[in-house]
Amino acid sequence: MKRAQFGKHKPMYPPTSIPVPIKDRFIADISQNPHNKSILERWDDLALPDGWLVAGCLFQTVWNLQSGRAPEASIKDYDLFYFDASDITEAAEQKMQAHADKVLHDLGIQIEVSNQARVHLWYESYFGQPYDALHRSSDGIDRFLIPATCVGIRPGELYAPNGLELVYDGVLTLNPLIPYRELFQQKAESYRARWPWLRIQMPDVDAVRDAETGR
């Protein structure tokens, strides 16, 4: 199988160009989830190098609010990314996991800590698709299967390489940076099972093939 050309495609627009009103709205919305708020309040204690709070706990909080549900409803876990290329062993990652669990133990939630410097070591064996080595934590955010879900936050900084409109519009499309159609379908359907109003836009087969072959 030919490795996907991860560097070929660019985000829809730079994160610095996120319109202020929707950026402020997003931050206010995700802060209504008390677990997100508590994690960010304890950020210095977590001491994650190049750390980000990412993914489901953010966009799913927004979807819950749009659905009239409690902000933390149906959120399975809270993902923390960090980047440490100096030690990409599983043992080192587990040590960071144990530290985060200790800092956040009273919240009663599932915390998942992942060193983005080592994702390429296990991704293919777990998901059956190749994955290039990353160079920073935000590279991992860029490569979520669905562009709307590519979001991360840490105190004073929001990263959303594809903007935030897709989150609020509930549009699920394939990320050309990681064009794995079957994985996309599985993920999108799992989201729509919990938030039925979400819209799945299936990718063009030829476009996916071109992305996978690097054309």
What pLDDT score does 19 carry? 83
206 pLDDT above the threshold of 80: no
The reported pLDDT for the residue numbered 11 is: 46
Whether 212 has a pLDDT exceeding 80, the answer reads no
pLDDT digits (tens, 9 = 90+) for 33-88: 999 999 999 999 999 999 999 999 999 999 999 999 999 999 999 999 999 999 99
Give residue 4's pLDDT. 40
How distant is the alpha carbon of residue 73 from its chain centre? 18
Domain ranges of the chain: 15-213
Confidence band of 18 (pLDDT split at 50, 70, 90): confident
pLDDT digits (tens, 9 = 90+) for 84-143: 999 999 999 999 999 999 999 999 999 999 999 999 999 999 999 989 999 999 999 999
Mean pLDDT of 135-164: 97
**Tens of pLDDT along 164-186?**
999 999 999 999 999 999 999 99
Phi then psi for residue 205, to 5 deg, are -60, -45
Asked if the model's pLDDT at residue 12 lies above 70, the reply is no
Nearest of 75, 52, 26 to residue 194 by alpha carbon: 75
What confidence category does residue 202 fall into, taking pLDDT thresholds of 50, 70 and 90? confident
What integer pLDDT is reported at residue 203 of this predicted model?
Answer: 66
Question: What is the structure's pLDDT at 15?
Answer: 46
